[in-house]
Copies of this chain bind each other. A is one copy, B any other.
Amino acid sequence: MTTDVDGDTAELSRPARRQAEIAAYVVKHGSVSANDLVEAFGVSVMTVHRDLDELERQGVVRKYRGGVSAQPTSVFESNVAYRLNTAHAEKAAIARHARAMIEPGMSVMLDDSTSALSLVDLFEDITPLTVATNFLPAITKLAQLRDITLLALGGIYSATHDSFGGMPCAEAVEALHTDLLFCSVSAVSPTHAFHQEEEIVLVKRAMLRSARTKVLLVDHGKLQRTALHRLAPLTDFDVVIVDEKTPKDLIEALRDHGATVEVAEL
């Protein structure tokens, strides 16, 4: 068991992992040819093309004759962060911690984040429950469960995030008011939460207005980073849950700025 801090690409099918790695490669090099990738990844040219098609479908790269180029970083970051979903164990710990806040009968809103997805796995035992989300994988999972009222938040599908967004989604959110909101973001500074894409920010803001208790799920790695759009001050959240691997001084920094921080134990 190696301790590769962030390269924890486990729990991902081989092609999916390779695709994420290709995406990283493309962004690093700006633009590359298919043959470069054949060499770099030791697979046939056909496979490379198939991978690139998929990445293009997700909006991460642009194909042209002779190669591919990277898309605006914002899209890329969002997507790759999501795809190579690192720190699975930490997220599970955060989910377990968050779970304690949920009582049977409550209504819960989830955003499109893998952190939220971990939480879904724990819902089976907290029934009955009403869950609202715009995240397709979560919807699929929840549809299988008994005694859960699933409220799908529709909208325009984004292949990059595998979720629904846009104005229709924001409107759907605004028509609700749940007891709890669990959400995540792409970056957290000592004072604010950030996200790469404006579209997503719109929906998340709407969610923040539509819940009584707001919880931010943050695995370390999100911290110390920053992203284009400022979503909200951390004080807008009732609780910020971080994992154990978060440096102590960073936690202190958050608290110094008035945030309520809880640490999830592994």
Q: A residues bordering B, Cβ < 8 Å?
A: 53, 56-57, 134, 136, 139-140, 142-144, 146, 149-157, 159, 162, 164, 168-169, 171-172, 175
Contacts and interface: CB of A to CB of B under 8 A. Distances in A.
A25 to B, nearest CB: 22
Residue among A144, A154, A169, A175 facing the most chain B CB atoms (10 A cut-off)? A154
B159 A168 contact: no
Nearest to A148: B157
Contact of A152 (B140, B146, B154): B154
Contact of A156 (B53, B149, B164, B169): B149
A151 B155 contact: yes
Contacts of A146: 53, 56-57
Given A139-B136, A151-B154, A157-B142, A175 B164 contact: no
Contacts of A57: 144, 146
A152 B158 CA distance: 11
Which 6 A-B pairs have CB atoms at the shortest separation, nearest pair first? A154-B154, A150-B157, A152-B154, A153-B154, A57-B146, A152-B164
A143 B136 contact: yes
12 contacts: A53-B146, A57-B146, A139-B157, A143-B157, A143-B159, A151-B157, A151-B168, A152-B154, A152-B164, A154-B164, A154-B169, A168-B172
Contacts of A150: 156-157
B162 A171 contact: no
A149 B154 CA distance: 13
A156 B143 CA distance: 10
A33 B134 CA distance: 40
Contact of A172 (B136, B144, B172): B172
Nearest to A136: B143
Contacts of A142: 157
Contacts of A134: 154
A74 to B, nearest CB: 20
